[in-house]
């Protein structure tokens, strides 16, 4: 049977789906929830659902281009970043793809669907899961696609900008597309220092993947996009699947979301504060916390304790990362939420340590 490997699955257990006490820390969604302007846009657009949506997302791409200071013809929109990812792989059909391990599972899945063989560059815990300069040696004449996630999921690690620039130039010299997933970049403080969007127009081999999903808390709406100066690739993306892959509701939500600049500023402020709070509390509990930069925290239990299983009994979901390639049992990821929710999580975890101390240690 097909195995779902991502977080956010509140549907397999009927006891969770409509549980008002549920706290889902397994999916990295903006803790501020859907912005009011986006909610209103969704309501207004319901009546227009009797019509087919714009297959080219024209209004959305124009506004997104203005927001990013890029031409609209460099933007392709899809039914979430995952949909765009699969289209990219289908359009380019690389024979061999290099991905990190651990990283988001769908890079490997999308490449395999396109018939690609997968090479893994395994990140090491002793290096705190940072990407080292030795990745350049892994990009060979056989490589036909490189996929990097910045910040990486689940580790939350940002790549060194100079190294990323070197990787880009190395790929360009070998005519290799570099797909860079920046879906979590909007949560990063001083993101302008790390994003590679400013390199797009000079490097046609660079493709940047982005999403509204996590940033604006609309995973159920589904809206993502990619950026590329390779107009031939953009044309191939339109030809690589059905025409109406972005609903009218999703397009309206995206257009409204781009006006929510104060919401984005508040999101980064809140996540910065709450991340520090959670990191300090998790270390007091005895977990190894890896420093990261986004709206989620990657950690390791040095003791044999089933955190995901035990927390689920208290209506709290966290991401067990043992099914990530390159990881084993004991690694977990949690989203960063509001102080009220975070206190409940930490209180529950501390109670486990207090009342189940023998099991926790052993």
CA distances 151 to 73, 204, 324, Å, are 26, 22, 16
User: Which residues, 6 or more positions from 330, have their beta carbon under 8 angstroms from its beta carbon?
Assistant: 300, 301, 302, 304, 322
Q: Are 118 and 111 in contact (CB under 8 A)?
A: yes
Sorted by sequence, the CB contacts under 8 Å of residue 46 that are 6+ apart come out as: 249
Alpha-carbon span 249 to 48, nearest angstrom: 9
Gap between the Cα atoms of 149 and 10, Å rounded: 26
CATH assignment of 36-257, given 3.90.110.10, 3.40.50.300, 3.30.70.270, 3.40.640.10?
Answer: 3.40.640.10
Q: Where in the chain is the domain with CATH 3.40.640.10?
A: 36-257
Quick one: which H or E segment has residue 300? strand 296-301
Q: What is the torsion angle, in degrees rounded to the nearest 10, for the CA atoms of residue 332, residue 337, residue 342 and residue 348?
A: -50
Q: Would you call 125 helix, strand, or coil by DSSP? A: helix
Quote the DSSP letter at residue 337.
Answer: -
Q: How does pLDDT run across 321-338, given as a tens digit for each residue?
A: 999 999 999 999 999 999
Rounded to the nearest angstrom, the gap between the alpha carbon of residue 217 and the centroid of all alpha carbons in its chain is 12
DSSP 192: G
Judge whether 97 and 103 are in contact, CB under 8 Å.
no
- pLDDT, mean over the chain: 94
CA–CA separation, 158 and 188 (whole Å): 9
- Picking from 296, 278, 273, 298, the residue whose alpha carbon sits closest to that of residue 288 is 298
Q: Which of the four CATH numbers 3.90.1150.10, 3.40.228.10, 1.20.1260.10, 3.90.550.10 does domain 14-32+261-361 have?
A: 3.90.1150.10
Question: Residue 214 and residue 216: Cα distance in Å, rounded?
Answer: 6
Nearest partner of 107 among 133, 84, 127, judged by Cα? 84
Domain(s) of CATH 3.90.1150.10: residues in the chain:
14-32+261-361
User: Is the model's pLDDT at 18 over the cut of 80?
Assistant: no
Helix (H) or strand (E) run with residue 152 in it: none
pLDDT tens, 109-120? 999 999 999 999
Q: pLDDT digit string (tens) for 23-33?
A: 999 999 999 99
Contacts for 52-60 with beta carbons within 8 Å, 24 or more apart? 52/244, 52/248, 53/244, 53/246, 53/247, 53/248, 53/250, 53/251, 54/248, 54/251, 55/243, 55/244, 56/238, 57/246, 57/251, 57/254, 59/251, 59/255, 60/246, 60/251, 60/254, 60/255
pLDDT tens per residue across span 251-290: 999 999 999 999 999 999 999 999 999 999 999 999 999 9
Strand, helix or coil at 39?
Answer: helix
- pLDDT grade for 361, boundaries at 50, 70 and 90: low
Looking only at the bridges linking them, the beta strands covering 224-228 and 287-290 are unpaired
The model's pLDDT over 173-211, given as tens digits with 9 standing for 90+, comes to: 999 999 999 999 999 999 999 999 999 999 999 999 999
What's the pLDDT tens digit per position in 66-95? 999 999 999 999 999 999 999 999 999 999
* Spatial strand order in the sheet of 75-78: 75-78, 224-228, 206-211, 178-181, 145-149, 96-101, 117-122
119 and 96 Cβ atoms separated by less than 8 Å: yes
- Give the global pTM: 0.95
Count Cα neighbours of 113 within 13 Å in the Cβ-side half-sphere. Answer: 15
In angstroms, the first-to-last Cα distance of the chain is 34
pLDDT band at 356 (very low <50, low <70, confident <90, very high): low
């Amino acid at each position: 049977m097909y195995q779902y490997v991502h977080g956010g699955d509140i549907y397999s257990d009927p006891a969770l789906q409509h549980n008002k006490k549920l706290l889902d820390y397994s999916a990295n969604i903006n803790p501020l929830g859907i912005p009011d302007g986006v909610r209103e846009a969704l309501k207004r657009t319901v009546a227009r659902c009797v019509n087919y949506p714009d297959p080219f997302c024209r209004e959305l791409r124009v506004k997104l281009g203005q927001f990013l200071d890029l031409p609209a013809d460099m933007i392709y929109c899809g039914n979430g970043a995952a949909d765009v990812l699969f289209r990219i792989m289908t359009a380019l059909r690389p024979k061999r793809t290099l991905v990190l391990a651990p990283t988001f599972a769908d890079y490997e899945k999308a490449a395999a669907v396109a018939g690609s063989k997968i090479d893994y560059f395994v990140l090491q815990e002793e290096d705190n899961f940072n990407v080292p300069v030795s990745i350049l040696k892994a990009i060979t004449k056989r490589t036909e696609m490189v996929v990097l996630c910045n910040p990486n999921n689940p580790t939350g690690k940002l790549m060194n900008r100079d190294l990323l620039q070197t990787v880009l130039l190395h790929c360009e010299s070998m005519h290799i597309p570099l797909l860079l997933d920046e879906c979590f970049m909007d949560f990063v403080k001083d993101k302008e220092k790390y994003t590679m969007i400013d390199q797009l127009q000079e490097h046609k081999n660079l493709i940047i993947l982005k999403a509204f999903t996590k940033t604006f808390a609309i995973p159920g709406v589904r809206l993502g996009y990619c950026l590329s100066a390779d107009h031939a690739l953009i044309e191939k993306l339109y030809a690589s699947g059905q025409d109406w892959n972005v609903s009218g509701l999703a397009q309206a939500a995206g257009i409204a979301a781009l006006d929510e600049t104060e919401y984005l500023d508040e999101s980064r402020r809140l996540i910065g504060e709450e991340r520090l709070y959670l990191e300090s509390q998790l270390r007091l509990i005895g977990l190894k916390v890896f420093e990261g930069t986004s709206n989620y925290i990657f950690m390791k239990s040095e003791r044999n304790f089933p955190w995901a299983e035990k927390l689920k009994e208290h209506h709290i979901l966290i991401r067990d990362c043992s099914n990530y390639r390159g990881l084993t049992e004991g690694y977990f990821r949690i989203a960063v939420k509001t102080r009220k929710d975070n206190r409940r999580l930490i209180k529950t975890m501390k109670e486990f340590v207090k009342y189940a101390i023998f099991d926790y240690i052993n």
